[in-house]
Structure 1
Amino acid sequence: MFQCLNRSPSRFTLPDLTAVTEPVFKLRTNPRQEQAYRNIKQWFKDLRVYPEAKERKFLSHAFDLYAGLSFPDADVEHLETCIAFFLWAFSFDDLSDEGEFQSKPDRVQVGVDISMEVLNHPELPPPKFKYAAMLHDIWRRFRSTASPGACNRFKKAVESWMKSQVEQAANRSWNTVPSVDEFIILRRRTIGGEIVEAMVEYSLDIKIPEHVWDHPVLVGLSRAAIDIMTWPNDLCSFNKEQADGDLQNLVFCVMLEQNVDLQSAVDIVTKMLATRVDDYVTLKAQMPSFGSEVDVELATYFKALEHYVQGTVVWYYESPRYFRGMDVT
């Protein structure tokens, strides 16, 4: 099954993925980034999620830059929550990706169950499980200003993301590589795409009627945007993940399904990304009107979502999480 992996070259060429997305997804930086990060950095340190050395390495991944690029118009209060969201999401994700829960779906499920109690019973004190304690505070911050619809979407999205962590841990434990189509659907959940969308709503207190989100064009735009922010992650994290023996990556799926070598798979995924950008443009041109007030809110939302997508792709190159010790030019 894994013969094509054995004949892969020791190196591959990764194109500038930011150039693929930049014509449609523009980049800006939030000038309040440093101010927001000071408070949240201390918040994270006080929780003592990691020992000091591991905490220092984790915080070196530039999550403050990520939030500054992804939420360029958020005020300080909302930006603090967005940074806290990144610290929580990436630390919890690392538990199953490379930490003590890796390939242990039963242990991931325990963490999921504790975390879901936080969402279902926010009036209770924060639990001792530190990752759920982070979520407890983020959920409090989110609910303080977000619309009921955004709160509902955030809660459902977190539950879906956490279930996907269990599924992915099971795939790792069984050494299972899904088909490309299956993986793309699962990957939209493991990247936390729907949580991101709720965070974009929250960041600017956007209020859009519930029925609007079910329109086929908006559903299509959502899926396209999530794919566009996700597939560059698989390309940029490939080297890190293959070093960890992690096959849950779109590049691996393409290699196995199409029986091609590494460079060919990288090129195929890059072309898939360019096609997905075109899909987004086509769908956006088909956006119907929902009335002047809703249209203004939607325009604000999609502009913010596009900033998030490009900020994410740029951050993949800027963060030592993926290219530590490398000169990325």
Structure 2
Amino acid sequence: MTSSAPHSPPRTRYPRQDAVPAPDTYRTRTAGIRLWDGTLLSEVVTPRHDLAARPRPFPVQRNYFHTAALEAGARWLRETVPLERDEYERLLTEDVGGFVSWVYPDAQPARLRTLIDFHHWAVWLDDVMDRRTTLETSLEACSVLESLGTVELAPFDDFFARMRGQGLHEGHAGRFLTAMRAYGASSRTEVHARDDHTCGYTTIPGYIANRRRSAAMPVYFALIAWISGVELPTHVYGHPLVVQLENACSDYALLYNDAGSFTKEYLAGRTGGTFVRLLSHELQLPVQDTLYEIADMAAAAADDLEAASDLIDTSDLPAAHREHVHRYADGLRKFTGGVNHWSNHTIRYAIGQPMTDTAPTSRTGDRHHLRTGRAK
């Protein structure tokens, strides 16, 4: 992809690569660390659940073409993206490319291959924003995302051109690019919050509203619509029911991530800028109870996605669009099921901490009112 400007656009400078500390054993890394409530970090357990165990299970199916696509994606990552060997090996070990094979089970082989390349690149860049030690490095990564479509960027230009050749038409492409730029801008807000060692938000709805953008979920929504063959006018995406479907999917992914990655985030030095800390203070809960609460909030989002999907046929959506909204909701459910399965098995979040199983349906429902208007 190149700019429409008459002269060659400037090339984007990739963010500098700061050193990543060598991994250590979990027990050694957590020894003696006490959290803000006095709990020893080594005694905190990570809650998880299985959406396939619900009374109406969420779909979990790995794309049939994942083996060849992952092998080709690993070669592309090594040859195309400017990353150190340990970063390369970490992305493969964490099955970052494999995530795509779970959340897009219906993608055609060529599209799956392209999506794996995109996801490897995007997660690497997200890690630059998230894992590095300097504010400058993180903000440079945000700038890369914010500039997409206006500068030459070899890896992105490569897989984006393939997407266009594989049927990503102007509507889907525009939505994808807009979401990527917004992802960079909202991530800039989170970077500054982390640098200040505070969550940066004072209310649960405020945090959720930003995370619905900075968690890159609108990017995934554009890709889900493409893979699922969804063709809807722009205004239909703004329909309250469609927004409810998207928000439920987004909330599940971000909340389940927040609960599952807490220990790793804390060890990485992000002690203040976490949702766990915000919710713990707001509800006056110990850290362990807060993690259980967040896992339950994620289950409530899955409940809501299921319930909202059942409302499509009786909604005021135009009859001509309902089939495509059903198709979109199906893609969102498959994405959610894939997120759950991959998150439960990747070592990206499981770094040795004990795990405990929780219910895949919510005990209390959406008691924080995330999808009733206050968190818009």
So what's the TM-score if we normalise by structure 2?
A: 0.77
Out of 142, 149, 165, the position equivalent to 1:112 is 142
Out of 161, 165, 169, the position equivalent to 2:191 is 169
Cα 1:20/1:73, change in 2 over 3 Å = closer
Structure with the bigger percentage of helix = 1
**Counterpart residue identity of residue 115, structure 2:** C
Which residue is equivalent to 1:81? 114
**Counterpart residue identity of residue 113, structure 1:** S
Asked whether 1:150 is paired with 2:182, we answer no
Asked whether 1:263 is paired with 2:288, we answer yes
Out of 233, 237, 240, the position equivalent to 2:264 is 240
Asked whether 1:231 is paired with 2:263, we answer no
Cα 1:267/1:117, change in 2 over 3 Å = closer
| 8 Å Cα contact 1:31-1:72 kept in structure 2 | yes
Asked whether 1:274 is paired with 2:299, we answer yes
Q: Compute the RMSD of aligned alpha carbons.
A: 2.4
Which residue is equivalent to 1:130? none
| 8 Å Cα contact 1:82-1:203 kept in structure 2 | no
What displacement does 1:292 show? 5.6
Asked whether 1:136 is paired with 2:157, we answer yes
Cα 1:136/1:115, change in 2 over 3 Å = farther
Runs of 5+ in structure 2 lacking a partner? 1-33, 357-376
Q: Whole-Å Cα distance in 2 between the matches of residues 197 and 215 of structure 1?
A: 15
| 8 Å Cα contact 2:44-2:288 kept in structure 1 | yes
Out of 33, 39, 59, the position equivalent to 1:26 is 59
Q: Whole-Å Cα distance in 1 between the matches of residues 134 and 53 of structure 2?
A: 33
Q: Whole-Å Cα distance in 1 between the matches of residues 258 and 145 of structure 2?
A: 26
**Bigger Rg over Cα:** 2
What displacement does 1:154 show? 0.8
- Decide which moves more: 318-327 or 259-268: 318-327
Q: Whole-Å Cα distance in 2 between the matches of residues 226 and 103 of structure 1?
A: 28
Which residue is equivalent to 1:322? 349
Out of 217, 241, 245, the position equivalent to 1:217 is 241
What displacement does 1:257 show? 1.9
| 8 Å Cα contact 1:85-1:138 kept in structure 2 | yes
Out of 15, 39, 57, the position equivalent to 1:8 is 39
Cα 1:230/1:223, change in 2 over 3 Å = same
What displacement does 1:146 show? 1.5
Which residue is equivalent to 2:324? 297
The percentage of aligned residue pairs carrying the same residue is 21
| 8 Å Cα contact 1:24-1:277 kept in structure 2 | no
Runs of 5+ in structure 1 lacking a partner? 128-132
Cα 1:326/1:293, change in 2 over 3 Å = same
Cα 1:24/1:221, change in 2 over 3 Å = farther
| 8 Å Cα contact 1:147-1:207 kept in structure 2 | no
Q: Whole-Å Cα distance in 2 between the matches of residues 40 and 289 of structure 1?
A: 43
What displacement does 1:185 show? 1.2
Asked whether 1:253 is paired with 2:278, we answer yes
What displacement does 1:175 show? 1.2
| 1:272-314 deviation digits (Å, cap 9, x = unpaired) | 2232223223322332365565333222222122111111111
**Counterpart residue identity of residue 298, structure 1:** V
| 8 Å Cα contact 2:46-2:355 kept in structure 1 | no
Q: What is the aligned length?
A: 315
| 8 Å Cα contact 2:81-2:155 kept in structure 1 | no
SS in 1 for 2:149: helix
Cα 1:186/1:75, change in 2 over 3 Å = same
| 1:202-245 deviation digits (Å, cap 9, x = unpaired) | 22443222221111111111111100111111111011001012
| 8 Å Cα contact 2:176-2:219 kept in structure 1 | yes
Out of 203, 207, 210, the position equivalent to 1:183 is 207
Cα 1:21/1:224, change in 2 over 3 Å = farther
**Counterpart residue identity of residue 231, structure 1:** L
- Decide which moves more: 29-38 or 317-326: 317-326
| 8 Å Cα contact 1:4-1:256 kept in structure 2 | no
| 1:245-293 deviation digits (Å, cap 9, x = unpaired) | 2133322221122222111101221222232223223322332365565
Asked whether 1:65 is paired with 2:65, we answer no
